[in-house]
Structure 1
Amino acid sequence: MTSEETEAGTEQPAWSRWVIIGGTLLAVLLIGATAGMFLTRTIDSDPAATPAAGSVEVGFAQDMSTHHLQAVTMAGWARDHSTDPEVRQLAFDIERTQLEQVGRMKGWLMLWDKPEQPIGAPMQWMTEPMQGHDGGMSMAPSSLNPAGGPLMPGMATDAELAKLRSLSGKQLDVYFLQLMLRHHQGGTAMAQYAASHSSLPALKALVNSMLTSQGAEMDQMKLMLSARSAQPLPA
C-alpha cells in the first residue's frame, strides 16, 4: 500500500467532524445542567429559599437561556458557513461557552420546578431601568420583532437573521461579528441587572463567568471588525 493510499484510508470523513462537534456541544450542555443543579443544591440548600415564579432569579434563568440560544444559533451558522478560521474558532468558542451556561440555568429551573419559558412577554422581572453597555439608562425590552413581539436587548430580529443566512465570505464574517457584538452587549446589561437585584450566590457566580467570557469576546470582536475595516452596529 502506498503512502497516498494510507493517507486516503485514514482521512476522516467530513460528516464525522460534525458528529464529533455536535456530540461535544451536547456534552457541554449536559455538563452545564448537572453543574447548575449541583451548585444550586450545595449553595442554596434551604427549600424555603427557592425562588418564586416571576422572581429575578427565575426570570433571568428563563430569559437569558433564550437570549443565549439565539447566540448559539448565530454562532453555529457562522461556524458552518464562514471560511475564515478566526471567525469559525470564535463562533465555536461562543457556542461551547453559552451552551454550558444555558445548561446551568436550565438545571436551576428544573431544580426549582419552574418552566423553561416565561409566561407572557420577556423581562417582566426587570422592574427598574437598567444601565446599557454605553452607560446610559434604558428600559427593556428595547426593540420589537414584527414576527415575534418584543425582543430582549441585543437580540437580532428575524430579518437580521435572514440577512445573516443570505451572506457569504467577508460580508458574512463582518455581519456575524456585528450582530454578535451587539448581542453580547445586551446580554451583559441584563446579567449585570440580575446580579445587582439578586442575593443568590449561584446566580452571581454565573454572571461573573458571563462577564469574564463575554468581555474578552467583545474586545476580540471589536479588534476583528477593525481588522476588516468595519464598525459595530449602532446601539
Structure 2
Amino acid sequence: MTQTRRLPLVFIGVVGAIALLLLGAAGGMLLVSPAQDSAQQQAGPNQVDIGFSQDMSLHHQQAVTMATLAREHGSTVDVRQLAFDIETNQRDQIGRMQGWLSMWNQPAHASGPLMQWMKSGDDHGQHATMPMTDGPLMPGMATSEEMSRLQSLRGEEFDVFFLQLMLRHHQGGVPMAKAGAARAASPAVRALAENMLGSQGNEMKLMTTMLDKRGAKPLPMN
C-alpha cells in the first residue's frame, strides 16, 4: 500500500495522458461513423467545414504552444493541470481537423486571408459574428511580443499572464466554434465545434476563477 501511494508523479502523469488520448481516439470514432463518412463523401464539405478546420487548427496551435510552456513552467499544480488538459485536448482536435482536410483533399491551412468563411454564408445567408482578418492573428491570439514575455516569466507572474492569455484566446475562438456548430455541412464538424463550446466554456469559467483568486483581471479582447 505504501508503494502505491508513493508512485512517482511522472508515472501518474503518463498514465493520465494515455487515458486521455484513448478517450480522444474513442471520441473521434464516435464523431466520424461510417454512415457519416458515406454521407459526407456524397455531399462534400462546404466552405464552413473547410475554413473552420483550417483556421481553428491554426488557432489551436498557439494554444498548444502556450499550454506546453505552462505545463513546464507553471508554478502551481492547478495551472499545470489545466495546461495539460488544454494541450492534450487541442492536440487531439487538431489531429481530427487535419485528418478531415486530408480526406477532402484540402490544404492544411488557408492560402488566402484568414476567416473569410465567416462572411455571409452561401448556405443560410448568415453574417459573420466577428471581424475578418488579413493578418496572421485571429481574435484572441497572442502577439509575438506577448509570447516572448510569457516565455521570459516564471513563478506567480507566469501563472497570471498564462491564464490571461489563454482566457482571451478561448474567448476569441468562441464565434468560430459557434459558426462551425451552426453552419458546417458535416455532422462530425458540427459535433466537434459544439464540443469545443462546451469544454472551453468550462475552462473559461475555471480560468476566470483562478485569476480572481490571484487578484488579477482578464485581458481586453484584441
Instruction: Say which of 40, 63, 77 aligns to 1:85.
Output: 77
| Aligned-pair CA distance for 1:130 | 3.4
Report which of the two has the higher share of strand.
1
SS of match in other structure, 1:45: helix
1:65-214 alignment, distance < 5 Å: 65-128=57-120, 129-131=127-129, 138-141=130-133, 149-214=135-200
Q: How many equivalent residue pairs?
A: 210
Aligned to 1:3: none
| Aligned-pair CA distance for 1:197 | 2.3
Question: Quick one: structure 1 residues 224 and 13, their matched pair in 2 at CA, closer, same or farther if it must change by over 3 Å?
Answer: closer
Offset from partner CA, 1:48-106 (integer Å, 9 cap, x none): 31225xx1101110110111111011001001011211100010011111112112111
Aligned identity (percent) is 47
Letter in 2 for 1:173: D
| Aligned-pair CA distance for 1:229 | 0.3
Letter in 1 for 2:50: V
For the 8 Å contact 1:76–1:91, the answer to whether it is kept is yes
Question: Quick one: structure 1 residues 177 and 112, their matched pair in 2 at CA, closer, same or farther if it must change by over 3 Å?
Answer: same
- Mark the runs of 5 or more structure 1 residues left unpaired by the alignment: 1-6, 132-137
For 2:201 and 2:213, the matched residues in 1 are separated by: 19
For 1:29 and 1:66, the matched residues in 2 are separated by: 23
Letter in 2 for 1:202: A
| Aligned-pair CA distance for 1:42 | 2.9
Structure 2 length as normaliser, TM-score? 0.82
For 2:171 and 2:55, the matched residues in 1 are separated by: 15
For 1:192 and 1:157, the matched residues in 2 are separated by: 24
For 1:116 and 1:202, the matched residues in 2 are separated by: 18
Question: Quick one: structure 1 residues 94 and 50, their matched pair in 2 at CA, closer, same or farther if it must change by over 3 Å?
Answer: same
Letter in 1 for 2:38: S
SS of match in other structure, 2:168: helix
Question: Quick one: structure 1 residues 216 and 13, their matched pair in 2 at CA, closer, same or farther if it must change by over 3 Å?
Answer: closer
User: Which runs of 4 or more aligned residues in structure 1 lie more than 6 Å from their structure 2 counterparts after TM superposition?
Assistant: none
Question: Quick one: structure 1 residues 110 and 29, their matched pair in 2 at CA, closer, same or farther if it must change by over 3 Å?
Answer: farther
SS of match in other structure, 1:79: helix
Aligned to 1:45: 38
Aligned to 2:50: 58
Question: Quick one: structure 1 residues 24 and 70, their matched pair in 2 at CA, closer, same or farther if it must change by over 3 Å?
Answer: farther
Question: Quick one: structure 1 residues 32 and 158, their matched pair in 2 at CA, closer, same or farther if it must change by over 3 Å?
Answer: farther
Structure 1 length as normaliser, TM-score? 0.78
For 1:41 and 1:154, the matched residues in 2 are separated by: 35
| Aligned-pair CA distance for 1:25 | 9.8
Q: Supply the RMSD in Å over aligned alpha carbons.
A: 2.9
SS of match in other structure, 2:136: strand
